[in-house]
Structure 1
Amino acid sequence: MSIAYLQHHAIDKIQWDALITQSPEGQVYALSWYLDVVSPAWEAVVQLDEEGKYRIVMPVPWLKKLGVRYIQQPLFCQQLGVYSINGSIAEAVYNSFIKELEHRFRYVTGYQFNTSNKLPAAPQQEHTFTLYLHLNKPYEQLQQRYTRDRKQNLKRAQKAGLRIIESEDMEPLITFFRTETAGRIYGGVSEEAYAQLRELYAALKTRGLARLYYTLDQQERKNAGCLFIIWRNRIVYIFNAAAGHGRKQNGRTLMLDHVIREYSNQEFILDFESPDESEPDIVNFYRSFGAEAMPIPVLKYNHLPQSIKLVREVRMRLVQRLKGK
């Protein structure tokens, strides 16, 4: 076995996707076409067997600023990390892969591995989490695990006469997010992010992996939307938003309950793509469906020269001051 670092043009994407599809750790985020959208120049660390076949792989999403290449988790891509052909990843492999990163990148803002990865202890390792709901039980049992408030809000949505439709039009959902949510996000949301979301949805739709729902109120107005990705045994709650007139009508509760009902009693996991504890209202909302926390290892380090660190710190302070005005 040997370890190789591959630039984008050298990656065999057919072989790559075959491994991700077969891998016990496999996730839609790690498929080559998905990475091509969220990190177009992505590179990779690969373990090769004696015949040059991929056995273990790790995508490397990188950016460049001030002449410095660094690693940053892409948008719409909560987890990446290491994926194997047979589910066997030794501690030495993790160490070798991380050394390859350290050799080529002096700065990692935060690289989130997947929930199946078990990284060796390291001073630069942190953790975040997501929330999983295993759907391999009858719907009635799953609904019993909803909190009292969630059950009440579900009844309110039903009594309000909300109706669920399936759609292929992302624009209302993007409009809801732009007008009701984006302004509360630190630093704002760029037009490039919306363009990337449109491109990603098109790629998912072409492959039959996207399910986009809206709720309609009694005036036939769309008042909330949810986008799910369904690949293998995972359902990823990738994007959602509600209109101003529909924020209190519990449309998203109704749509999540619909998905839980539809895929109940099957070997699916609903991944809420939860934020961390800095967004307690969102975390508590997802937990109210009976979801359980799953840790995500995060690799972070900064080996930049002190002069570059100081420039970065000054810029961050300036942005914070301007934000506070």
Structure 2
Amino acid sequence: MIERIKYQDIDFEKYNNCIENSVQKNYYCEKEILDFLSKNWELLVYGDYEAVMPIPFVKKTFFKVVLMPLFCQQLGIFGKSNELINEKFLKFLKTNYNVINYSFNFHNDFETKLVTKKNFYLPVQEYAFLRRKKYFKGRKSTVKTAQYLEFREVFAKKDILEFIKNNFKGLEKESDMDFFIQYLLFLDKKKQLKMFGSYYEENLTNVAVLIDNENYFSLLGLLNNEELKNHNGASFLIDRILHLNIETKAFNFMGGSIRGIEVFFKSFGSDLQEYHVIQNSKKDLIKNWLKIS
């Protein structure tokens, strides 16, 4: 049986225990992270917290809608999980909520056919083997020609944050960019922010923004100075980060559904991880609201 629990009624001791002991555990399901990224969320629970599913939502005039927060890639079902249990969660979600978009984690499988998105991931492995056997030939060549660049760790100071603001693509609203900067400062305070830059003659060409988890890095952003992009700083940065870390930490590229980005991520020898999503148009949303209201 699936139970819907409001935020204030969640037993967070049981929730955390379920998350910590689940094979699906990821960074986004942690209470502190969800609290920051989503103003509102509640929980679906199977049994006595045998499995849980966080539901982020926003409040509209007449109803609330399920919407993945900015910078949150995968949520879904955590804990005891199989296709039968997952189908129960899916049915409850579709029957009781108006969903604009919701992303499950890549461990969640369903009998129902759902749309999928792509993510790319590199497990811990020997760097020399990765570069020799798995890098695309063109990527090896690009990395080799960019070795004149200088690699540095950079920090959340005014000049770096300004570089990020000026070169981040994909955020239409100024308020979204402001929230991204707040998020970086939040991660920095938690000591979970790592940033690296590539320099050409003291000019910053690129910045890689990473979430530093215990066992893996997640790529939150890869920023390019368009005037200096011919130096291939993005390839240089990713390769150097892998060189220094891939033998002890996995690397999550955090995306890849856009063709050009997919090719770039794949060229470093990464593995495809597909995850299921629910996406609805405004028209679909209104139809569903009429059904469940």
Contact kept, 8 Å, 2:77 with 2:104, in 1: the verdict is: yes
Secondary structure, in 3 states, of the residue corresponding to 1:77? coil
Q: Which runs of 5+ in 2 are unaligned?
A: none
Unaligned runs of 5+ in 1: 309-325
Q: What corresponds to 2:188 in structure 1?
A: 205
What secondary structure is seen at the aligned counterpart in 2 of 1:227? strand
2:112 aligns with: 121
Partner of 2:150: 163
- Does the 8 Å contact 1:177/1:240 carry over to 2? no
Which aligned pairs between 1:217-296 and structure 2 lie closer than 5 A? 217-218=200-201, 220-266=202-248, 268-276=249-257, 279-296=258-275
TM-score by length of 1: 0.80
Inter-partner Cα distance in structure 1 for 2:157 and 2:116: 32
Partner of 1:22: 21
In structure 2, the residue corresponding to 1:117 is in which secondary structure?
coil
Compared CA separation, residues 246 and 202, structure 1 to 2 (3 A)? same
Q: Give the structure 2 partner of residue 322 of structure 1.
A: none
State the shift of 1:307 in Å. Answer: 10
- Asked whether the 8 Å contact 2:100–2:285 carries over to 1, the reply is no
State the distance in 2 between where 1:297 and 1:177 align.
30
Q: Is the counterpart of residue 152 in structure 1 residue 147 in structure 2?
A: no
Cross-structure match for 1:312: none
CA distance 1:260–1:306, shift in 2 (3 Å): closer
Cα deviations by residue, 1:69-93 (Å, 9 ceiling, x for unpaired): 2112221111111111xxx413332
Deviation at 1:180, TM superposition (A): 4.0
C-alpha RMSD over aligned residues? 2.4
Contact 2:86/2:108, CA 8 A, preserved across alignment? no
Cα offset, 1:288, TM superposition? 0.7
Cα distance in structure 2, aligned partners of 1:247 and 1:68: 46
Residue 93 of structure 1: aligned partner: 85
Q: Does 1:80 align with 2:75?
A: yes
Structure 1 residue 167 displacement after superposition: 2.4
Asked whether the 8 Å contact 1:170–1:198 carries over to 2, the reply is no
The letter for the 2-side match of 1:251 is G
Deviation for aligned residue 1:135: 2.6
Distance verdict in 2 for CA 1:121–1:128, change over 3 Å:
same
Aligned length: 286
Identity level (%):
23
Change (3 A) 1:291 1:34: same
Cα offsets for 1:255-278 (capped at 9, x unmatched): 211221122333x431111231xx
The residue that corresponds to 1:135 in the other structure is 124
Does residue 1:110 correspond to 2:110, yes or no? no
2: CA distance, partners of 1:232 / 1:77: 18
Instruction: Report SS of the residue matched to 2:24.
Output: coil
Equivalent position SS for 2:230 = coil
Cα distance in 1 for partners of 2:289, 2:86 equals 31
